[in-house]
Structure 1
């Protein structure tokens, strides 16, 4: 397996092939069937927004259609996910911009470009926070907001980590071979400390318990923070 292997090649493929509709709601929680909506992001009218680890860009498309931002940039490094997004929502340009890029590299190259950054079980989960959070702080304008949904515990019930440590989780190569990728499933106070170290203030962490209790269900941490300014 090479460093460029697309471990998201299979993710969401079935839905992406049959459902090209723009979602009518913005959903944060792991089960994607409840909880708060886009109001957590604040008033997006005329704002520059980015989705970190956007996948097929369903959340970003919803914001572009329903919330009148200046532009939403859907950032994802996966060639397959970028292709899905382009096929389904490319027609929403220029309000929706699809960026095939590593989130840290994109943010680091765009200082002061965004009013709001968000992640829904996206790049925040799958990138070392010691790299991603400082890059997010750089890319936000003074007073800008970072909002993300991440796992409150591992899928299957194991507790979140009490330190900034990754967990190897199952994945598949495009050829279907079993492998792993790294996911950061951290306790709320660990996220709070990591955000403070990256320069964020006004950090809030809310726990949304698992809704159904099945073996694949998990609770959600909803985290908000601001860049001072």
Structure 2
């Protein structure tokens, strides 16, 4: 199922995509992508089936495909522009890297028990109602499978994260450059823990990674959880 709504990610990363075609040497979970843990948080991916939820230009998925030997990694994104950019950058990595143009919840619901590992690097988990996405993610994981995601610990303005499952409207641009808004879920640690538990996850762990020194510094919540093995 592909999206038919306005592509609010049309402009994101286009300048970099035109100039930088390299597969990244690594990635970090922190907001500034300079510090903190790396892909080891995902566990050993050798021979595993993995999905990047809200993969964008698929840079993180490309890194994993090249350096961590999964059986297959699905780069899932609903944005036509991001999907096209990912293919333009990394089509040579197929079939190990597989590009999926789909709305993430619909894709997960259509792939029950298909994945060993799911992750979101400030991706679909941030921009999809967790009451829809997290149960779908639990169902799409095989027993004992792992979900990992990084998300903002607070708003970029410095305002505290939400104490319940409430989305904020954040600015975006249409493909034509007109101002628009999209929903983003910036939730406190205990809220993520509660919605993950309600979705059927166990072994929930949340680590706060400190803000770096970039132009819009923000602390990160790095969250891991498992689907029960039985």
Query: Would you say the 8 A contact 2:135–2:199 is kept in 1?
Result: yes
1:10-25 matched pairs, under 5 angstroms: 10-25=11-26
Runs of 4+ in 1 over 2 A off after TM superposition: none
* 2:121 pairs with 1:120: yes
Q: 1:20 to 1:104 in 2, by over 3 A?
A: same
Corresponding residue of 1:47? 48
What's the CA shift for 1:33? 1.0
CA–CA distance in structure 1, aligned partners of residues 228 and 167 of structure 2: 28
The count of aligned residue pairs is: 227
Query: Would you say the 8 A contact 1:53–1:103 is kept in 2?
Result: yes
Q: Give the superposed CA RMSD.
A: 1.1
Corresponding residue of 2:200? 199
Corresponding residue of 1:212? 213
Q: 1:167 to 1:87 in 2, by over 3 A?
A: same
Corresponding residue of 2:110? 109
CA–CA distance in structure 1, aligned partners of residues 126 and 57 of structure 2: 16
* 2:82 pairs with 1:88: no
What's the CA shift for 1:213? 6.7
CA–CA distance in structure 2, aligned partners of residues 45 and 64 of structure 1: 10
Gaps of at least 5 residues in structure 1 are none
What's the CA shift for 1:224? 0.2
CA–CA distance in structure 1, aligned partners of residues 36 and 198 of structure 2: 29
Query: Would you say the 8 A contact 2:86–2:99 is kept in 1?
Result: yes
TM-score, normalisation: structure 1? 0.97
Corresponding residue of 1:224? 224
Corresponding residue of 1:153? 154
Query: Would you say the 8 A contact 1:156–1:217 is kept in 2?
Result: no
Q: Deviations over 1:14-36 (max 9, x none)?
A: 00110010000022111111111
Corresponding residue of 2:9? 8
What's the CA shift for 1:40? 0.1
CA–CA distance in structure 2, aligned partners of residues 84 and 182 of structure 1: 23
SS at match of 2:151: strand
Q: Deviations over 1:137-190 (max 9, x none)?
A: 010000000000000000110110000000000000000001100000000110
CA–CA distance in structure 1, aligned partners of residues 142 and 30 of structure 2: 27
Gaps of at least 5 residues in structure 2 are none
